[in-house]
Structure 1
């Protein structure tokens, strides 16, 4: 407690010093105005700056001010504000798995690439453990929906999400925000930057989150689970020695030592050993009548209290460092851009992977990731009817993973150690061109050639510390690789009905690379590589700005033909039924999406956005006698998702003060977390409701606010593991309960 009080005092001192420094500026300049929930947003989704309403693809874009008011603080939160986007909070948000329009990764291990590309300041983050970062000092987010295989490349079959930080400017700019909320949660965020010389500007930003308690209780120890200690730093320098040349250097560092959410135990066998229990067959978790294969069930009162053996603890400790260099040079009519990025990530985390008091499957995971990317591209200006982007891309990454697993109380009576090293090299050449066939009609076409080369080594050993192991002999000594060439692309037409209305149609092909299963295996055939998956996507849409700019309304319809999608299946290999991560089959998704923002007055903004989709597995590759999921819905693909927001601002005290009232809500219909479509591993439809009330001065230099998230305290499953019929129980992760707090912001 004394440490926490000292931290609060130190943080307050930092705020006071920052305020004094800002007041000492003789002529402080305000940052460029953030238009909040009104006005247009300029994006770079197509590798050039343009209005979001002029880009002929489906994009959800949000400014830094919107993200702050909605309290979007980590990448997984984006799903609440962008319909069609779903995040499976695997391992308690430690490996968030993104889905867009029904397309997602169906494996929770860290070595497999996602179907949605995540980019931070134009640098790709290739693995899910890297996607749980803290968001701060963000300029905007761009959510690109549908395959982005031409300009973004492999592993974007579902889409791509760009996180773009605020860049240095020649004008001094600074802010600091402190907040305190439920569960003893303290957050301090700030940034400052400006000119050093006439040609050099810098910006420094930081955020820390310190939480002393949590909403989950471990009944075995009485411990409250939910402590957070997270620190993130970012430094940037922008050098513009001439009007033609810009050099942007960025460095990041983050450290995290936080509790990982504990799993909720889900048994599905009858207590009397007669088979599956009636409640589980009906899709209801009932620990009174349902047990696991060892006869155990968690009878703790309330679902936010669980029993957890925690052999390896439940801390998630990680460090991440990154550096990027972005160089742009105007050659006269053509801009040359070079983007170099390097990221290093290391994490050790403990996890009770069975979710119960017994040591059936307790795990310590270790991940070490290094990734390097280099892209060089040429971009024409828009001075002629023909504009284009062309470039070359190279990436190299290495992930080394280890899973130390304790099965002390299981009938295996042992511990096992499984490790792998996976390296990936990818090369690509790409180009996309726009040609104005007339003043209103534009043709877009693009191609990208990719060569993907993965190497994989794998070992596993039964440690047998007690000398009584009954575990089958794990596989060891695997050395393998998979190579694949791919041609992806896009063709589309857009027609400007008027300066404020556009319709468009496109067809595109996306590609996700192949890979390997990394979980423990007992047959070498389980570890054979799987090939890449492809998606053929078709979209028609309209973007309109009506009522003299008061109403923005966008509509899109889409069809995804997903082939050779990757998932866990049971196959016959070498005459034996094995569970493998493989090319599971084919699926299709079609749907409609709409987004509307209405500003009837300068004070009131209303937004609603919805996505309806129908997903279906059309062909499933299952072994004879194994479950056939043909006809089932895809995992992580709710049929309906929607969000609504109302923001009202009114002046007080002769316009010297202002009050902002913001309410937002999101809805997800029933979601299955596995291809089996079992109700026991699903979440029925639910609403999440949030609110915020703030007061600020006329110039928006300071702001005080109170906020609440999930204010109706909805209990819902945010992720689920379906182990039906296996030797381990199923498990759930739960979403956060109601949280609330206060914040204070100063801007200079």
Structure 2
């Protein structure tokens, strides 16, 4: 890999040198130029090529073209970004190998998500369908300085379309495979001379599930039922004072995806697989070597359906104190719920299929003052406060799991087990950023944030009141007795024991503070080239997991992790503005990385636990190239190479065996990712324009476990998408025909184990459709 990195550096230097040599050519009025992309990554509008950060900026139109409906799809166009689906519905995002594999709804992620700078601190809040998005910016590397939540992996910032000065309207309709249709509409315009409004809505529906049962031919799962809505008011109260108020909501009442059950590994430490439920013994597994994304199975004893929803309000206030000074306030409230969502485990049996009840709330306030005239010294300072609350109750149907000790397939010791917890967190921070224009070509940027956080958690596991059989309480009562506690644990009472055999609710508190920051030196030898070198230090707060626990040690928190990052990059506009080449190399040092591993329970086998790995490393390189070599032809390529390594960490592997993970790569971290795009448009007569596009995205293989267990492999895959279009030259009408994953490539998104089942989530199979778009302005 040293060779690969060195070659990349040589390529970068030669390419940027080429850019320096040729960007001074005279530019005629008829030149082909790339469209300038404006971003707000540094809390102000500027060209993406002037920002000394590796950024992937995706327009709302491109997202629609590629079928990117929510945050989980961003990896289609962002090398270095991966999404894995947890067993209880919480998405896990990883960027440049930096992720946090905790399925708790209130877990703090390493990759934070924002909508118009308002935070969505829980990943679950970001899984709803996008609506009326202008663009999304993916910022790579620690982003603790200017954003309200410290993150070690990066930040995803959605920018919504704003009300305009004239009446606009748009509508689109799509029909595709699996009897799926999408409808989206938008109306925007002035209400008065100072008040503008915009409202947009979207629905995605399907009448046919895309998954097919391996044991019941003709039975399908995966019908889609999603809605999203956004409303916005923009009021220019005075020439210097403006307010923007927005309301967003989404709901997902779809059928959940079922994992492919590729193996059954009994977790009963006494009998192993000798005593199992006939339903499990006779259940049909999915061939682990299958190339069929659709193959799966699920129980027919539960009504499998999601009932997830989200609601948020945000108020932006801007006060121009002078031509160069501005005071900004961002107040936001967000709430998300999973109200009885039922999730399958992958077998036609009850083997820890879940009903999830969860509620999340966050309130945040940011106030910042910025002074900027583009010369001398620009600066920004502010404060940020947030208050988060979350509660979650997972009800597991365990009638057929091996640790339930089924007798002759007729009687189980327990059938339903619950785990519930509540979390509260308070965060306060102050931050500042200074940009010093040293000369016409050099600029020094320095910023820092001090953060203080307090989090509280309480939770436990218990027999559900509706559980049949004796339940687990008598067994845990006996365990408590061996620890010196004579206590009779009743049904519905906590049975998560402490070291003395006590069964009180686990209560914990974690107080942490941190200092994060970034220093960057920019060199712009001319208007078309930017070189930058940066050092940044980011932290991610610690937290308490919500896990199926028989021992209170499983609820103990992980402490905050720290990442120090060096990055060297360049951005060059070349060939008279028709070509853009960007590249970067980076090196991360990780302290106390938070990892999900295992603890060996004497009664239930290996159970999950969060721990800190003392030392880890990440290094890699990225580049992107965009060019318009001919009129109407656009080509782009982007790639990332990432090498991750745990330097020091000992724990248990997925099977509960002691393991030294030193030298192992991170899970969910493919080494190579890239995507390619070719788009060509051409006029037909004077009134119409036709075109077609082909894109390809590739992700290298990785593994869902730290020990790289072969059963948990995530094989490499490459996805082709194709689109043809015909529209009017004034862009009022557009008809498109498209295909996604046209080669029906198999994609393993995640492999995980819950109870006895090893389940694998897959990507979508091939899909085709037609779209009609109309715009009035």
**Root-mean-square deviation (CA), in Å?**
2.6
Q: Which residue of structure 2 lines up, in the alignment, with residue 87 of structure 1?
A: 83
Structure 2 CA distance for aligned equivalents of residues 573 and 443 of structure 1: 54
The answer for the alignment partner of 1:646 in structure 2 is 678
Aligned to 2:747: 716
> Normalising to structure 1: TM-score of the pair?
0.88
Task: Give me the whole-angstrom Cα distance separating, in 1, the residues matched to 2:359 and 2:152.
Answer: 25
1:495 to 518, 523, 527: 523
SS of 1:129's equivalent in the other structure is helix
**Aligned residue pairs, count:** 693
Q: 1:276 to 1:502 in 2, by over 3 A?
A: farther
Specify which structure has the bigger relative contact order, considering alpha-carbon pairs within 8 angstroms and separated by 6 or more residues: 2
Q: Could you tell me how far apart the structure 2 residues matched to 1:293 and 1:594 are? A: 51
Give 2:511's match in structure 1, choosing from 483, 486, 505.
483
Aligned to 2:660, what secondary structure does the other structure show? coil
What does residue 425 of structure 1 align with? 426
Aligned equivalent of 2:564: 536
Of 229, 232, 247, which aligns to 1:233?
229
Counterpart among 725, 747, 752 of residue 694 in structure 1: 725
Q: Deviations over 1:619-656 (max 9, x none)?
A: 11426961222211111110000000000000012x31
Residue 205 of structure 1, CA deviation: 0.5
SS of equivalent residue, structure 2 residue 659 = coil
Change in CA separation of 1:426 and 1:205 when aligned onto 2, cut-off 3 Å: same
The counterpart of 2:574, out of the listed 542, 546, 560, is 546
Question: Match of 2:698?
Answer: 667
After superposition, the Cα gap between the structure-2 partners of 1:352 and 1:72, relative to the gap in structure 1 and judged at 3 Å, is: closer
Contact 1:177 1:190 in 2 (8 A): yes
The answer to whether structure 1 residue 119 and structure 2 residue 114 are counterparts is yes
Residues 265, 731 of structure 1: 8 Å contact kept: yes
Partner Cα separation in structure 1 for residue 336 and residue 576 of structure 2: 49
- What is residue 328 of structure 1 aligned with on the other side? 318
**Number of the residue aligned with 1:401:** 392
Question: How far 1:314 moved relative to its partner?
Answer: 2.0
Determine the C-alpha separation between the residues in 2 that align with 1:512 and 1:124.
15
Partner of 2:363: 372
- Give me the whole-angstrom Cα distance separating, in 1, the residues matched to 2:451 and 2:278: 46
Q: Please state how far the C-alpha of 1:254 moved relative to its aligned partner.
A: 1.9
Q: For each residue in 1:18-72, what CA deviation from the matched residue of structure 2 results, as whole angstroms up to 9, or x when unmatched? A: xxxxxxxxxxxxxxxxxx9941111110011111000011111122222222232
Looking at structure 2, the residues matched to 152 and 74 of structure 1 have their Cα atoms a distance apart, in angstroms, of 21
Alignment counterpart, residue 306 of structure 1, candidates 283, 296, 304:
296
- Report if aligned partners of 2:133, 2:158 keep a CA contact under 8 Å in 1: yes
* Residue aligned with 1:638, SS: coil
1:426-456: per-residue Cα shift (whole Å, max 9, x none)?
0000011110111101111111000111111
Equivalences for residues 100-111 of structure 1 within 5 A: 100-111=95-106
- Relative distance call for 1:353 and 1:531 in structure 2 (3 A) is farther
Q: CA distance change for structure 1 residues 391 and 63 in 2, over 3 Å: closer, same or farther?
A: same
CA gap 1:609/1:300 in 2 versus in 1, 3 angstroms = closer
Does the aligned pair in 2 maintain the 1:645–1:663 contact within 8 Å?
Answer: yes
User: What residue number does 1:613 align with?
Assistant: 642
| Alignment match, 2:307 | 317
- Residue in structure 2 matched with residue 468 of structure 1 by the alignment: 470
Note the 1:508-527 alignment, pairs <5 A: 508-527=536-555
The normalised TM-score by structure 2 is 0.85
CA distance in 2, matches of 1:293, 1:486: 51
Q: Displacement, 1:572?
A: 9.1
Hey, what does 2:12 align to over in structure 1? none
1:95 and 1:131 in contact (8 A); partners too: no
Distance in 2 (CA, whole Å) between partners of 1:611 and 1:674 is 22
Structure 1 alignment gaps of length 5 or more: 1-35, 278-289
What SS is found at the alignment partner of 2:247? Answer: strand
In the alignment, structure 1 residue 449 sits paired with structure 2 residue 450: yes
Q: SS where residue 669 of structure 2 aligns?
A: coil
* Match of residue 49, structure 2, among 50, 53, 65: 53
Deviation at 1:305, TM superposition (A): 3.3
Match of 1:5 in 2: none
Partner of 2:14: none
Give, in whole Å, the separation in 2 of the partners of 1:203 and 1:490: 37
Instruction: Tell me the equivalent position of 1:589.
Output: 618
Secondary structure class of the residue paired with 2:454? strand
Partner of 2:482: none
Would the aligned equivalents of 2:265 and 2:758 in 1 still touch at CA under 8 Å? no
Q: 3-state SS of the aligned residue for 2:761? A: strand
Deviation at 1:242, TM superposition (A): 2.1
Give yes or no for the alignment of 1:213 onto 2:242. Answer: no
2:348 aligns with 357
The answer as to 2:241 corresponding to 1:242 is: no
Corresponding position: 1:159 with 2:122: no
521-530 vs 435-444, greater mean Cα deviation: 521-530
Q: More displaced, 535-544 or 300-309? A: 300-309
> Does 2:163 correspond to 1:176?
no
2:687 to 625, 639, 656: 656
* 1:169/1:379 CA distance change after superposition, 3 Å: same
Deviation, structure 1 residue 523: 1.0
